[in-house]
Structure 1
Amino acid sequence: MARAPFESPERFGLDPSFARDPCGGGPLSGLGFAAKEVFDLAGHVTRSGNPDWLRTHAPATADAPAVARLLEAGARLQGRTLSDELAFSLAGENLHYGTPLNPRAPGRVPGGSSSGSASAVAAGCVDFALGTDTSGSVRIPASYCGLYGLRPTHGAIDARGVTPLAPAFDTVGWFAVTAAVLERVGAVLLPPGEIRPLRRIVPMADAFDDAAPGVAAALRPALDRLASLGLAFDAPAQGLSLAAAAQAYRVLQSAEVWRTHGKWFERTRPSMAPEIAARLRAASQVTAREIDAAQREADALRARIDDLLAHDGVLCLPTAPDVAPLLGASAQPDAQTRMRVLAHTCIAGLCGLPQVSLPLGTVDGLPVGLGLIGGRGRDRDLLALAGRIASGDGNKTATAWPTFG
């Protein structure tokens, strides 16, 4: 069972006082995991990263189903992990409870909102960890911390017993150091189904072009590896208007967040990080006209992406546009930077699609992830492909893939 080798687990956002033995043997026997503090654990208040949320809620009467299934499959719960407040951030810096270390990028954020889960896995405290992904809260920390991470198809995994943020976009995801463990967890949590091969890669040219200098170049060897597996490269997807998609996502997510938490926010007036409180206040100002326009944009995008993926395609893009920001960067929030990240993460969210982040690149020694988006319900196929990529299972002659970036 994995342990943090040098420092206490609390430094990596893991509270071991919530540890619990498995219910018996199973396919995950011998593995230790952690659960983000938005997952209910019986007998404990689900803190959700905020002391006023802790103060105004009662202890959970049962474990969240995702946690229960892992325990039943033989995994040991090693503890609970830190989250950004209400899971409404992509940075991983918590005003009240601190910032977990990023073992792969010292002096930089681990990414949020599943910050503690990513940090604990990267540090070796646990073999895998549950997180949630609404706007990128598994995918972004996976990229920043050099991990494998999955955001599943929306609704594929039971999200009961998980503090919601924006239910139309919320998913239960997880992190692992290896693709093999990521897939083992998927075999327990995901609906059963036959593995069907994914054969085509569709690069998202705009996302590679928008990434920071060095990111596209760092991921080129990963694309070569995809080609060596015999995957065909389609012409890069052009004209998707990622900025427009990110704006549509922002509007629709904000409306959902306010419907979910607006009454609590106004009644409680919680102590919150200024940037998160500002996003909640902005969410209260979204208009019906903005929602209608955003929904039309989302519907058109979904139709276009479904057409690109067809029955065997995978969209390919940098998981995040850059390496992990320096610690303290979120103290002066840059809306433009956040929107740039959302431009990379909003496609899976708006379309309800699974996306895996693969730790296949570095820029100046800092991790960057390659994101692969599969068709709706193709989660297991995506994990199988991730396993092939990780193992280098393929000796076919690499086919040329288009130049961009």
Structure 2
Amino acid sequence: MSAFISEFDLCFHDDADAPTIAIKDSIDIAGYPTTAASRALADAPAATQHAEVVQRLLDAGWRIKGKANMHELAFGMTGINDFTGTPQNPQDATRIPGGSSSGSASAVGLGLVDAALGTDTGGSVRGPAACCGVTGLKPTFGRVSRRGVAPVETTLDCVGPFARDMRVLIDAMTAIDPSFDAGIARRDAAKTRVGIVAVDADTSIRKAVEHAVRRAGFASRGIELASMADAFSAGLAVINAETWHAFGHLVETGKLGADLDARLRLASKTTPTDLEAAENVRRVFTAAVDRALENVDVLVLPTLPAFPITLEAARAGTPVIAMSSLIRPFNLSGHPALSLPLPVEGSSLKAGLQIVGRKGADEKVCAVAAHVEAALAQ
């Protein structure tokens, strides 16, 4: 059950101490095919040039250790892949690693690399991060280059980093985003004003969120985002339409996994009316999040409403779409959102604390996460 599709060592500098990183197989690396962990793309030609984020990492002195495994075509929440293998969940090998950036989260959690890049269209960085007990950031939509990343056209997808601690995650963001200010990301965030979003999640996880806020010493208030459920449904409609547009032609190959074939066929039924309604929800929900952030600096809530289910349960057909109920809405709105490992009383597993910031305030989100990380470590 490999976290990697292929392993190699790519760097511009012969520095054995350089930080190492894995790259999700939906991101181009020159000389290697971008297969999105799909049998239908297994014979794809090698990429002729690096994706912009890959080039930036190499220019910054990172060592690329290989292409990370993933849920096929980045269209699934479990991370299960019967073609390339299912990456191991570092917290509990019997549980799903989360998708779609399963290999990226697994590789970081297992200590195979210092960091990894994933993509997040409906929670595909934050979800696996929470499952695997690592940190993952979905930047503000459009902030990090997607040149050389599949799918080409999207209104949701973001390239984002995974790491085991905020120091390394900030280093990775500094490398891939020339506008990212590491100085701001490392500022003291003790006086942050926090809004705790009321959500439907396991009681133990909700209590852990509240405990983390208290432990960090933040001033806090409760926040209601009434349109979360609508934003979740609208996000599904948009991702279905855009994924069908990008990959629907692969259904004809007969080489897709059974789950992907079924989900793509269902996605093809998304209508223009569905998309028009989704865009209306996008406007309403984005405005609601912006208003909530007028009186607080960040919003916090669980990343996932419950701990990840077992591989056995997932293979038996237990529905997993609700896993993304608290993360998918912020793809629709485009706000930056980070998942930080969250200790939960009575559990050996860590959940995820999701921190959401104003658009463009990715550095502030990182600073808040670093403050919470330090407080929880005491």
Scaled by the length of structure 2, the TM-score of the pair is 0.91
In the alignment, what sits opposite 1:343?
Answer: 325
For 1:359, which of 336, 341, 353 is the aligned residue? 341
Structure 2: runs of 5+ lacking an equivalent: none
In the alignment, what sits opposite 2:131?
Answer: 144
Cα shift at 1:213: 4.0
Asked whether 1:61 is paired with 2:48, we answer yes
In the alignment, what sits opposite 1:286?
Answer: 270
Aligned partners of 2:53 and 2:298: how far apart in 1? 27
Aligned partners of 1:239 and 1:379: how far apart in 2? 21
In the alignment, what sits opposite 2:237?
Answer: 251
Aligned partners of 1:140 and 1:31: how far apart in 2? 24
The SS at the match of 2:311 is coil
Asked if 2 retains the 8 angstrom alpha-carbon contact of 1:35 and 1:80, the reply is yes
**Aligned ranges 1:82-231 → 2 under 5 Å:** 82-164=69-151, 167-190=154-177, 191-193=179-181, 195=184, 199-205=192-198, 207=199, 210-226=200-216, 228=217, 231=218
Aligned partners of 1:124 and 1:152: how far apart in 2? 23
Cα shift at 1:86: 0.6
The residue type equivalent to 1:124 in the other structure is: G
Q: Kindly tell me: are residues 175 and 192 of structure 1, through their superposed partners in 2, closer, same or farther at Cα, counting changes over 3 Å?
A: closer
Tell me the percent identity: 35
The SS at the match of 1:19 is strand
Cα shift at 1:30: 2.1
Cα shift readout 1:82-107 (whole Å, capped 9, x = no counterpart): 01111001111102111111121221
Cα shift at 1:17: 3.3
Aligned partners of 1:64 and 1:29: how far apart in 2? 24
Cα shift at 1:146: 0.8
Aligned partners of 1:53 and 1:222: how far apart in 2? 43
The residue type equivalent to 1:314 in the other structure is: V
For 1:81, which of 68, 83, 86 is the aligned residue? 68
Q: Kindly tell me: are residues 302 and 384 of structure 1, through their superposed partners in 2, closer, same or farther at Cα, counting changes over 3 Å?
A: same
Q: Kindly tell me: are residues 324 and 166 of structure 1, through their superposed partners in 2, closer, same or farther at Cα, counting changes over 3 Å?
A: farther
Cα shift readout 1:207-253 (whole Å, capped 9, x = no counterpart): 2xx11242212333212123x1xx3212x222514222211111122
Asked if 2 retains the 8 angstrom alpha-carbon contact of 1:166 and 1:253, the reply is no
Asked if 1 retains the 8 angstrom alpha-carbon contact of 2:101 and 2:118, the reply is yes
Q: Kindly tell me: are residues 114 and 304 of structure 1, through their superposed partners in 2, closer, same or farther at Cα, counting changes over 3 Å?
A: same
Q: Which piece of structure 1 moves more, 163-172 or 42-51?
A: 163-172
Aligned partners of 2:194 and 2:12: how far apart in 1? 39
Q: Kindly tell me: are residues 176 and 324 of structure 1, through their superposed partners in 2, closer, same or farther at Cα, counting changes over 3 Å?
A: same
Cα shift at 1:301: 0.7
In the alignment, what sits opposite 2:261?
Answer: 277
The SS at the match of 1:317 is strand
Aligned partners of 2:46 and 2:110: how far apart in 1? 29
The residue type equivalent to 2:232 in the other structure is: A
Aligned partners of 1:333 and 1:166: how far apart in 2? 31
In the alignment, what sits opposite 1:326?
Answer: 310
In the alignment, what sits opposite 1:388?
Answer: 371
The residue type equivalent to 1:199 in the other structure is: T
Cα shift readout 1:249-288 (whole Å, capped 9, x = no counterpart): 11122111122222x225x434223222222111111111
Aligned partners of 2:150 and 2:275: how far apart in 1? 24
Aligned partners of 2:166 and 2:147: how far apart in 1? 26
Cα shift readout 1:142-195 (whole Å, capped 9, x = no counterpart): 101111110101111111111218611011011101111111111222224473
Paired positions, count:
371
The residue type equivalent to 2:149 in the other structure is: V
In the alignment, what sits opposite 2:35?
Answer: 47
Q: Kindly tell me: are residues 285 and 15 of structure 1, through their superposed partners in 2, closer, same or farther at Cα, counting changes over 3 Å?
A: closer
Structure 1: runs of 5+ lacking an equivalent: 1-10, 396-405
The SS at the match of 1:188 is helix
In the alignment, what sits opposite 1:265?
Answer: 250
Cα shift at 1:126: 0.5
Asked if 2 retains the 8 angstrom alpha-carbon contact of 1:298 and 1:351, the reply is yes
The residue type equivalent to 2:231 in the other structure is: A
Cα shift at 1:23: 4.2
Scaled by the length of structure 1, the TM-score of the pair is 0.86
The residue type equivalent to 1:138 in the other structure is: V
Cα shift at 1:393: 10
Q: Kindly tell me: are residues 50 and 271 of structure 1, through their superposed partners in 2, closer, same or farther at Cα, counting changes over 3 Å?
A: same
The residue type equivalent to 2:55 in the other structure is: A
The residue type equivalent to 2:250 in the other structure is: F
Q: Which piece of structure 1 moves more, 309-318 or 76-85?
A: 309-318
Cα root mean square deviation, aligned: 2.3
Cα shift readout 1:27-51 (whole Å, capped 9, x = no counterpart): x962111111111111111110101
Asked if 1 retains the 8 angstrom alpha-carbon contact of 2:79 and 2:98, the reply is yes
Cα shift at 1:66: 0.8
The residue type equivalent to 2:73 in the other structure is: L
In the alignment, what sits opposite 2:352?
Answer: 369
Asked whether 1:20 is paired with 2:10, we answer yes
The SS at the match of 2:100 is coil
Aligned partners of 2:67 and 2:367: how far apart in 1? 28
The residue type equivalent to 1:290 in the other structure is: D
